[in-house]
Amino acid sequence: MDHGAGWLHASLIYLGAAVLAVPLSRLLGLGSIIGYLAAGIVIGPWGLKLVTDPQAMLHFAEFGVVLMLFLVGLELEPRRLWALRRPIFGWGSLQLFGSALLIAGVGVVAGAGWPLALVAGLGLAMSSTAIGLGVLAERNLMATSSGQSVLSVALLQDIAAIPILAIVPLLVAGGAHADGNGWLGAAKAFGVIAAIILGGRLLLRPALRWIARSKTPEIFTAAALLLVVATAALMQSVGLSMALGAFLAGVLLAESEYRRELETDLEPFKGLLLGLFFIAVGMSIDFAAVLARPGLVAAVVAGFLAVKAAVLFAMARTMPLPLQERPVFTILLAQGGEFGFVVFQTAQGAGVIGAQASSLLVAAVALSMLATPLLLVLTDRFVAPRLAARGAARLDEISEEQQAPIVICGFGRYGQIVGRLLNANGLSATVLDHSAEQVETVRRFGWPAFYGDATRLDLLRTAGAGQARVVVVAIDDVEQSLAVVDLVREHFAQATIVARARNATHWYGLVQRGVEHIERETLDAALLSGRTVLELMGWEPHAARNQALRFRRHTIELMREMAPHRGDERKLIALSKQGRQQLEELWARERQEQRERQARAGWHTPTRPEGQAAQRDED
Amino acid sequence: MAEIVIIVAHPQLQHSRVNARLMQAAARAAPARVDVRDLYALYPDFFIDAQAEQAAIAPARLVVWQHPVHWYGMPPLMKLWLDEVFAFGWAYGPGGQALRGKDLWPALTTGGPEASYRPDGYNRYFFDAFLPPYEQTAALVGMRMLPPLLLHGAHRVAPADVEAHAEVYAERLASYPDWPELADLPGCPDCVVPADARPTESP
């Protein structure tokens, strides 16, 4: 077939399929990824047979994943990546190797040979970065704790894929011998990573500046693409993951002034290539293998999803992730992934597993990827409402520079009260909330709330934190609240922080960071209830008020006193006991004095001298 | 440990012309000797820390009460301060000696002009008629009340006069206790409380 005509023909099929299937799928409420996968199945070898070589397309479209990781890297400054090192290597390794071992164990028990079981375990333990991060981006969950956890695990899988691919061929019985190039290969790999980091730090920004000065937009776009392609090629030449290299390059540019431009330039390429990638996955589902042993395939899919989900759910509970984020976290990482394809192909090529086993495993992975968006839809319908999950509504992030002297981060139950009080006093405040649903609700009531994650420096800056006098941190998530406080203290030192503390631990965290204006969210409400009980038990309303206020002062003083001893539990318990004792003694003494005064004759008769004060405590 | 403690009570200091200016002048007059306590800023919830207040005035030689006259007396938080801080057993009554020998100096402003404080004016009394509660409060706790510093018609007084008044205030604070008139001032009158005047401890 003529080369040009072939290209035209292929474009016609792919674009046509995507343009038809994706809007249809979205209309049905299934999301775009299912649309792409369905389009792939329809045009693939098992559908209309319009395309017969899905593997070639898969390789080409993998570049979409590379671009995506570059864009993810752009969102992640080196400092934040460094902060993620523990989730990456800790939770990431736990997920990958925990799942792999469990799946391999189940495989061996089910009667598979151990090389097959191990290959299946390693391959199935991988998760689809493309779908995972794609869904996170589509739902604006990237900055949530579950989003960061998914990213961490995906990054570790990217890193671990390299040694795994090196080890898999060695699993052939008796064929285990190192090829002597290991050290050289490792040295090369390190050299390339070092080159990317150094080059990224020293050369990229001047180069981009020089290109930008030419004022030719398409050349800047070309340069952006070239940058990603070159990094990917460099990594591939030494056998490293292309996506990992692109991610590194992205991180290195995360603090540059060209970040936004790079993002907007590459976004459409990423979207289209990812779409192609999903189409290719749909095409590569080998229905012959599935139909030959439908029961076995179903068992493999259900089995590995269940094992991985169990591991992930245990992880989500221990981390712990917020309840409503756990289903998404579990589903996104439980599915198989594109690295699985590569692992199985490599194993088959090396003769570790048979062709039939390989196509069966590939089909299982592809089916799990197909099932993932469906599972998510089901979760949204039936589980999420119960968990009061964030709505899937999409809103644009805050983008216009704001000027209000007050920024309120988090506009839930707490932030709203703060905001209403300020508003009633004619003060304008810029409101940032991470929940799209929340933003839509308060907007309906006429509040100019913005959608955005306050733990992101750029959004805080856009919200006007740079010139705000006060930043109210009313976020309910403790870690995010502390992250915002850190950002504000580091970058917007002119602003005074007024913070909501969820609990005592959070309170101490805020004190440690030097926040002066902290309110424990339950303290005052609980004191008012206590005051009411005192009144109901016969205390005079004003006396009850005084006791509540005195208790409040005492409690806060005690907490301040205990703050430096955090971590020393014995000391804390001792101080807390001592504090409670002091208050009890003080009040017992006062009650005693009061009784004595009451016992004095004539104190309350009209003949008392001079009308002096000091009768407040009597009666 | 200031030698002079100034208790300021003004419910709306942001709208104040004279008292805010007086507060500034006082703080600048002799920073080392003067402790200015703005009650409405310290205790916006009307929850006075009596111990802290007692600790602040115990070492002082001169206590100044600086406030606008509202309804012919002190603003409510100042009165609450008085109730809580001048406590039985501390300021008066058995063992109540903490304030004995100190000076009390009211620095008061009125909205009405001087002419209104006359039998034929709308306030019907000379301003002196409203001072006995202050004098007797001082006497009962053993303080010597110094002649009050007054500024009438605080709403309308010319800016130059406010400045001049603040000057006088600052100068007096700075020169205390070397005031010429103090030599002729009688000491604190004795208030001997008969043993049966107050309720006694029951056996």
Give the model confidence (pLDDT) of B142-182 as tens digits.
999 999 999 999 989 999 999 999 999 999 999 998 998 88
Q: A321 or B3, which is more confident?
A: B3
CA–CA min distance B95, chain A (Å): 15
Burial of B160 (0-12, 13-18, 19+ CB in 10 A): exposed
Q: A158 or B72, which is more confident?
A: B72
Radius of gyration of chain B (CA): 17
Among partner residues A549, A599, A609, which is closest to B197 by beta-carbon distance? A609
Which residues from A are below 8 Å from B193, CB to CB? 609
3-state secondary structure of A315: helix
Which of A143-147, B79-83, B185-189 is the least confident region?
A: A143-147
Which of A234-238, A521-525, B36-40 is the least confident region?
A: A234-238
Which residues from A are below 8 Å from B43, CB to CB? none
Among partner residues B49, B83, B193, which is closest to A616 by beta-carbon distance? B83
* Interatomic CA distance for residues A303 and A311, integer angstroms: 13
Q: What pLDDT is recorded for position A73?
A: 81
Which residues from B are below 8 Å from A553, CB to CB? 47, 49
Does the beta carbon of A608 lie under 8 angstroms from any beta carbon of chain B? yes
CA–CA min distance B97, chain A (Å): 16
Sign of CA dihedral A362, A364, A366, A368: negative
Q: Using beta carbons and an 8 Å cutoff, which residues of B are at the interface with A?
A: 45, 47, 49, 82-84, 86-88, 92-93, 136, 140, 193, 197-202
The predicted model gives A240-257 an average pLDDT of: 81
* Interatomic CA distance for residues A433 and A151, integer angstroms: 22
Vertex A381, ends A376 and A387: CA angle to 5°? 90
Which of A1-15, A575-589, B36-50, B82-96 is the least confident region?
A: A1-15
pLDDT in tens, A98-108: 999 999 898 88
Which of A188-202, A500-514, A541-555 is the least confident region?
A: A188-202
DSSP notation for A132-174: HHHHHHHTT-TTSHHHHHHHHHHHHHHHHHHHHHHHGGGGSTT
* Interatomic CA distance for residues A163 and A140, integer angstroms: 32
pLDDT in tens, A325-361: 788 888 889 988 877 877 887 788 778 888 788 888 8
Contact B45, B186 (CB under 8 A): no
Q: Single out the residue of B24, B197, B158 nearest to residue A611, CA to CA.
A: B197
Sign of CA dihedral A164, A169, A171, A175: negative
Q: Single out the residue of A155, A153, A184, A163 nearest to residue A346, CA to CA.
A: A163
ipTM over 0.90: no
Contact B102, B63 (CB under 8 A): yes
Contact A553 B47 (CB under 8 A): yes
Contact A603 B199 (CB under 8 A): yes
Does the beta carbon of A599 lie under 8 angstroms from any beta carbon of chain B? yes
Q: What pLDDT is recorded for position A530?
A: 95
Does residue A389 have a pLDDT over 50?
A: no
Nearest CA in chain B to A545: B47
Contact B200 A600 (CB under 8 A): yes
pLDDT in tens, A282-292: 887 777 777 88
Nearest CA in chain B to A601: B199
Q: Which residues pair with A522 in a beta bridge?
A: none
Q: What pLDDT is recorded for position A386?
A: 67
Does residue A178 have a pLDDT over 70?
A: no
Contact B88 A601 (CB under 8 A): no
Output the CA–CA distances (angstroms, integers) from residue A18 to A13, A277, A465, B24, in the order listed.
8, 11, 42, 74
Q: What pLDDT is recorded for position A3?
A: 52
Among partner residues A553, A602, A613, which is closest to B199 by beta-carbon distance? A602
The predicted model gives A139-160 an average pLDDT of: 80
Q: For residue A619, what pLDDT band results from cuts at 50, 70 and 90? A: very low
pTM: 0.50
Average pLDDT over all residues of chain A: 81
Q: What pLDDT is recorded for position A472?
A: 96
* Interatomic CA distance for residues A286 and A275, integer angstroms: 20
Does residue A57 have a pLDDT over 80?
A: no
Instruction: Tokens for A96, please give them.
Output: 């990958």
Contact B200 A612 (CB under 8 A): no
Helix A129-138 with A54-74: angle, nearest 10 deg: 50
pLDDT in tens, A296-311: 888 888 999 999 999 9
Does residue A511 have a pLDDT over 60?
A: yes
Contact B88 A612 (CB under 8 A): yes
Does residue A557 have a pLDDT over 50?
A: yes
Nearest CA in chain B to A613: B83
- Select from B43, B79, B202 the residue whose CB has the most chain A CBs within 10 Å, as the one to mutate to test that interface: B202
Contact A313, A338 (CB under 8 A): no
Among partner residues B45, B86, B136, which is closest to A613 by beta-carbon distance? B86
Contact A468, A404 (CB under 8 A): yes
The predicted model gives B190-199 an average pLDDT of: 78
Output the CA–CA distances (angstroms, integers) from residue A467 to A242, A454, A462, A516, in the order listed.
41, 16, 10, 19
Q: A27 or B202, which is more confident?
A: A27
Which of A5-9, A126-130, A375-379, A557-561 is the least confident region?
A: A5-9
Vertex A372, ends A369 and A376: CA angle to 5°? 165
Highest mean pLDDT among A348-352, A448-452, A474-478, A575-579: A474-478
Which of A60-64, A356-360, A376-380, B89-93 is the least confident region?
A: A60-64
The predicted model gives A554-582 an average pLDDT of: 81
Contact B83 A609 (CB under 8 A): no
Does the beta carbon of A386 lie under 8 angstroms from any beta carbon of chain B? no
Which chain A residues in 162-201 lie under 8 Å from chain B, judged by CB atoms? none
Q: What pLDDT is recorded for position B39?
A: 96
Residue A426's identity, in one-letter code, is G
* Interatomic CA distance for residues A463 and A406, integer angstroms: 9
Contact B82 A613 (CB under 8 A): yes
Contact B199 A601 (CB under 8 A): yes
Percent of chain A clearing pLDDT 70 (strictly above)? 90
Which residues from B are below 8 Å from A616, CB to CB? 83-84
Output the CA–CA distances (angstroms, integers) from residue A267 to A74, A152, A259, in the order listed.
12, 22, 12
Q: A6 or A228, which is more confident?
A: A228
- Select from A610, A617, A618 the residue whose CB has the most chain B CBs within 10 Å, as the one to mutate to test that interface: A610
